[in-house]
Chains A and B, each alone.
Chain A
Amino acid sequence: MGNPILSDDGVGLYVAERLRATTLPDGVDVRQSEVAGLRLLELLRGYDKVVIVDALQSGREAGEVVRYEARDFTGGHRYSSAHSIGLETALELGRTLGYDMPSDVTVFAVEAVDVETFAEELSPPVAEAAERVIALVRAEVGAA
């Protein structure tokens, strides 16, 4: 996930692009999405397992890679936002409506330096982290 013209916000899309060029096991699809919220629901339906890569700003060291399981998002923060809904709410909404939502959702988040400047390049720590994430995702989906 991400935005291709907001510097480090494009890291997820970059990783997906690179993954596409590798050999992946059968049944693994690589998708790129530039939106979040309710539109996520439509993208995730029908899959058993989903691995998401995205940028993060949380005060960590630039380039740090954090792994979340979808259950890590639950508890408390389900406010109505001014503009969208989050991953966890989308998942729960899908389940509530009886849709076939993935039971296994993993997120690899890369701590970004800059997600506000219009640019198509990643900053060096994030570009470096992207390499690590590519390997992590491949391992996660059982690629050799």
Chain B
Amino acid sequence: MKKVTVDPITRLEGHGKIEIFVNDAGEVANVYFQIPELRGFERFCVGRPVEELARITPRICGVCPEAHHMAASKAIDAVYGVTPAPTGVKLRELLYNTFFVTDHATHFYVLAGPDFVVGPTADPAERNILGVIHKVGLETGGAVIKARAEAAELISIIGGKQIHPVCGLPGGVSKALSAEERDRAVEITASHVEFAKFSLQLFDDIVLGNNDYVDLIKSDAFTHSTYYMGLVDDNNHVNFYDGKVRVTGPDGAELLKFEGKDYLEHLAEHVEPYSYLVYPYLKAVGWKGFVDGKDSGVYRASPLSRLNAADGMATPLAQAEYERYFSTLGGKPVHATLATHWARLVEMLYAAERAHELATDPDIINPDVRTLPTGIVGEGVGVVEAPRGTLYHHYKTDDQGMVTNVNLIVGTTNNNASISMSLKKAAEGLIKGGTEIGEGTLNMIEMAFRAYDPCFGCATHALPGEMPLEVTVKKERTQEVVTTVRRYL
């Protein structure tokens, strides 16, 4: 087969690029997936005081800055060898779970919703949040906006700023919660629990009640048997803020459970000549290529993965939904990529319940929110679950706390290999000899990609703000372009 060299010029255009190669019979031979990489982050951080990274790293991404803020705060605690004050931890966790509620809601209603609620092959002009509201009604639309606005308010109260929180300090947070603020937090989190329940009901009615959608979710084109990664607490329940990293296999058995700081012992990176992406894989299993199965070190990190990697949810309503999810989909683990959208809603319910638990904890207004560091270790790893996958921040400093080295594995990076595999499988399933490759087909292929809610935010900044994507179908033998679909280009 002809070797493909990706023109580096695409890197400068700042958009995602999917190339599908078809053979002479019109069947998919291979699929390549490209996203431009951001350059120089490590260079940019070197020489800065490490505690500033909690305010700098959130700017990697305009959608999940809270995740970076938390991972950074934890890594910085470790750099200083300080155990954060318990109330400080609770406040961080309250903010963080509230962020999960709003982020997951946004993804479901704005990004995934259009596929499921309006329909994957519907007219593109309808296949967006406006189309969703058209279908579900203004009241629902208003409920989504309200949930987001209230989440932003609570994040602002604890985090200090609406968009990029600044509360994390070495050893805790910068500000305690007043009784009044706590009362507001109780109100908002209770409202979020109702909203999460409502969203799950909506999913039930609109998606699970539609046989075509259920068939799509269960279809082989959108299924991969990989390993699954997620943070779990001591009871092996999903936790977004803290815990150990657990990896379970395609058969459901536990492969690994490790402390975040030991990630380099368990994860390695594979590189391909045609891409700037790195493909992390499990050292214990090894890199066997872009393939599924027990013998391949490819793993996934996402809501789907987290539910597979855990034994349950730590809150009652979410636990009930967790059980219903698995019994409906035929047991653990669930390999259907599109089920991620359902898993996301189960997580949203847990996040809301957990946030409410924290808000109603009397200790949450304790003024003692920070333990001052008294020394320095000079190296630290902070691991959290970002909405899109396990997030690792690893910092090294000199003895003054000035950064000498930074390594990050962002949520989506964990999924680079699986995204490529999902795209290829979806393309193979949908493009056969003689298929008319239209916009609808290509949107369905993009659905495979969209389920991962890939976060390449900053590299794709385009006016007016969407992520530009180019999907090109080419003849493998001649490289001749069969068709191209562009979004926002």
A contacts, CB < 8 Å to B = 2-6, 9, 33-42, 54-58, 68, 73, 76-89, 92-93, 96-99, 107, 109, 115-119
Contacts and interface: CB of A to CB of B under 8 A. Distances in A.
Contacts of A3: 59, 62, 458, 461
A78 B461 contact: no
B467 A117 contact: no
A115 B62 CA distance: 14
A36 to B, nearest CB: 3
A73 B464 contact: yes
B110 A82 contact: no
Given A35-B163, A80-B450, A84-B465, 16 more contacts: A5-B56, A36-B62, A37-B106, A39-B152, A39-B163, A42-B149, A54-B463, A77-B466, A78-B128, A81-B111, A82-B111, A82-B453, A85-B128, A117-B40, A118-B40, A118-B44
B465 A87 contact: yes
A34 B59 contact: yes
A73 B464 CA distance: 8
A37 B39 contact: no
A90 B450 CA distance: 20
Contacts of B487: 77, 79, 81
Given A3-B62, A3-B461, A35-B163, A89 B128 contact: yes
Given A39-B163, A56-B463, A88-B464, A6 B458 contact: yes
A86 B465 contact: yes
Contact of A80 (B36, B115, B454): B115
B130 interface: yes
A98 B137 CA distance: 13
Given A6-B461, A78-B130, A89-B129, A83 B44 contact: no
Contacts of A96: 130, 133, 138, 141
A116 B459 contact: yes
A82 B457 CA distance: 10
Interface stretch (B12-20, B277-285, B299-307, B347-355): B12-20
Interface of B: 11-14, 16, 36, 38-41, 43-44, 56, 59, 62-63, 106, 110-111, 114-115, 124-125, 127-130, 133, 138, 141-142, 145, 148-149, 152, 163-164, 446, 449-450, 453-467, 469, 487-488
Contact of B464 (A39, A80, A86, A116): A86
A1 to B, nearest CB: 8
25 contacts: A6-B59, A6-B458, A37-B106, A38-B110, A38-B148, A55-B461, A56-B463, A78-B128, A79-B124, A79-B466, A80-B129, A81-B487, A82-B467, A82-B469, A83-B453, A85-B466, A92-B130, A96-B138, A97-B138, A99-B145, A109-B463, A115-B461, A116-B14, A117-B39, A118-B41
A55 B40 CA distance: 20
A12 B163 CA distance: 17
Contacts, number: 162
A38 B128 contact: no
Tell me which of A40, A77, A80, A92 has the highest count of chain B C-beta atoms within 10 A of its own C-beta. Answer: A80
A118 B38 contact: yes
Top 7 nearest A-B pairs by Cβ distance? A36-B465, A118-B44, A87-B464, A86-B464, A81-B466, A35-B62, A80-B114
A58 to B, nearest CB: 8
